[in-house]
Amino acid sequence: MEIVAYGVLADEEPLLRDAFERAFGGRHELRCLSLFLDRDTAPTAVGREVVLSGVNDSLDAEVLRRLSEGGTRMIAQRATGYNNIDLAAAEKLGLTVARVSSYSPYSVAEFAWALALAVDRRIVRAAHRTREFDFRLDGLMGRDLHGRTAGVVGTGKIGAAFARIAHGFGMRLLGWDISENPDCLALGMEYVERERLFAEADLVSLHVPLLPDTHHLVDAGALGLMKDDAILVNSSRGGLIDTDALLETLRGGRLAGVGLDVYEEEAGVFFLDKSLEVMTDERLARLMTFNNVLVTSHQAYFTRDAVGQIAETTVANVADHFAGRVGDNTLVRASTA
């Protein structure tokens, strides 16, 4: 049986193929495509019982309908988030949907810190200067993070890993979540209301999933509460931040730095080479004009460790489907699966 995977990156493909070979020993053929799954590309899945999707694929009701009509019975999402999949439609169509519920939290937490330090110490600007043999320090002054306050929004596995690093820097810890993490409490974290966290934190890092309740969690009100010299980092999902409100905040000369590994309209842009095209997304283009903003292309998870774990879990989810098992990663179990 041939299984098709969409949006497969060059560095990801060998890890995914290796995991499939070890699990299935050639019993199933894996076809890796670099194109993303959407309404236009859904016909390429005709005849494939299992489809492997990624975070920037669009699996709305129409795409799922076309997949179902083409013979697809299982969607294996190669990510933790699944806000791009219409689960209700999948259930009605008799599709099984699974995800990767967890992988190395250190990959994302460490990258979030890389963003925070890069914007705090103006590392990108400094690197550009030294490449041109300009060794001045004008405009590159940062500040110590030791003794300052880190606000961790979402204290699950990734948020807790971020908090441990912050603790190592000697920072005071504030947390916001629907429940308190004992590991974070052991670090001395104080759980507070969202408004207080945004008002007191010198560094705010986002680690909550994108849900209806968290959409635009960082809106004009939250940004208005933040210190003028605070740093904001988002390595979770772009929709957590109201981009228009962020642009207005930056235009007002506020925030010392912003590190974004995600963007709310990243689908169709991130993971692609747009260097020879006109950037039609005006909001993204405007973000790039601020010298205190660093945007990366959803790469926080992209370590050999994490991608390898994602591949292994994806394969296990597919194996569960073929065996008729319901695993911990199953989001929707079709009665006909």
Q: Could you give the residue numbers annotated as active site?
A: 237, 266, 298
Q: With both helix axes pointing from N to C terminus, report the angle between 157-168 and 105-120 in degrees, rounded to the nearest 10.
A: 50
Strand order in the sheet with 149-153: 190-191, 172-176, 149-153, 203-206, 231-234, 257-260, 293-295
The CA distance from 299 to 233, in Å, is 14
Residue 158 sits at the vertex; the CA angle it makes with 333 and 113, to the nearest 5 degrees, is: 145
Question: 293-295 and 257-260: which strand pairing?
Answer: parallel
Q: Of all helices (H) and strands (E), which one includes residue 131? A: helix 123-131
Q: Cβ contacts of residue 35 below 8 Å, gap of 6+?
A: 6, 7, 41, 44
Q: With both helix axes pointing from N to C terminus, report the angle between 304-323 and 105-120 in degrees, rounded to the nearest 10.
A: 150
Question: Do the beta carbons of residue 145 and residue 197 sit within 8 Å?
Answer: no
Q: Rounded to the nearest 5°, which phi and psi values hold at 50?
A: -120, 135
Q: Which two tokens stand for residue 111?
A: 């990258």
